[in-house]
Amino acid sequence: MKTNFLRRIAPLTLLLAPIVLYSGDSADIQADIAQLREKYANVDDVRPTPVPGLYELRFGYRIAYVDASGQFGFLGSGDLQDVSSGENLTESRRAEVRRELLASLDQWDTLDFLPDKTEHELLVFTDVDCGYCRRLHQQMAEYHELGIGMRYVAFPRSGPDTDSWTTMQSIWCSNDRREALTVAKAGGFVPERQCDSVSVERHFELGRQIGLSGTPALLTPGGELIPGYVPPVRLAAILNETDD
């Protein structure tokens, strides 16, 4: 009988039952994967982890770990870590999923503010009614001086059929989208426009798949998520450290 995962395991809960160790036989692993796919009808991906007998389940952006029976595991704050290297394996997997999702985003669909010489290029989920999004945009020249370029996508936090959504749709339908966005972020009025563009809908759905809960949200080409507003100098330091 197939089981709904969210009904069986509560989010952010650590289940402390022992995990069965595994022999590592490839045939047994494939059998376990097939069993877990049957058990959790809405799972997107099942794969073994470096820990014998422990499997990763992915439901969209959400990651969980269970034993071969699918009964015991851990979620949320219980990220899996490689103790020897210090790598957070769960976050590395999240970054991989983000890269896969972002690969489907057409370049023309972004609203770009890039310096003459770009050292770091970020994809930025933004909302015209977000105070920190406005602050970030007001400092665009400072980011550019540090070689940081921004490619905006729309994420009106209020959702469809709201004033923010209508404004952002009007921006993406404007003849001069960069100017329209700048006006809106300064609190100005952007005339309502309609077009065949489905940019806002696509961007919003992408943000939901990635698991965004607020704006601004900055993503590196490697899939690293930098949540919230970060001042220019601090952001440059973070990006330079990431490159190292």
pLDDT tens by residue, 183-220: 999 999 999 998 877 889 999 998 988 888 899 999 99
Active site residue 127: yes
Catalytic member of 32, 67, 94, 133: 133
User: How far apart (Å, rounded) are the C-alpha atoms in residues 58 and 44?
Assistant: 6
6 has a pLDDT exceeding 50 = no
User: How far apart (Å, rounded) are the C-alpha atoms in residues 140 and 115?
Assistant: 9
Active site residue 133: yes
Q: What confidence tier does 19 reach under pLDDT thresholds 50, 70, 90?
A: very low
15 has a pLDDT exceeding 60 = no
120 has a pLDDT exceeding 50 = yes
Mean pLDDT of 134-144: 98
Catalytic member of 93, 94, 98, 157: 157
Active site residue 99: no
Percentage of the residues of the chain whose pLDDT score is greater than 90: 52
Q: What confidence tier does 237 reach under pLDDT thresholds 50, 70, 90?
A: very high
pLDDT score recorded for residue 152: 96
Active site residue 129: no
Catalytic member of 127, 129, 134, 173: 127
pTM of the shown model: 0.70
Mean pLDDT of 170-188: 96
Catalytic member of 130, 134, 173, 177: 130
* Contact by Cβ (8 Å): 73, 9: yes
User: How far apart (Å, rounded) are the C-alpha atoms in residues 147 and 236?
Assistant: 8
In this structure, what DSSP letter does residue 132 have?
A: H
Range 208-238 burial, b when 16+ CB lie within 10 A, else e: eebebeebbbbbbeebbbbeebbebeebbeb
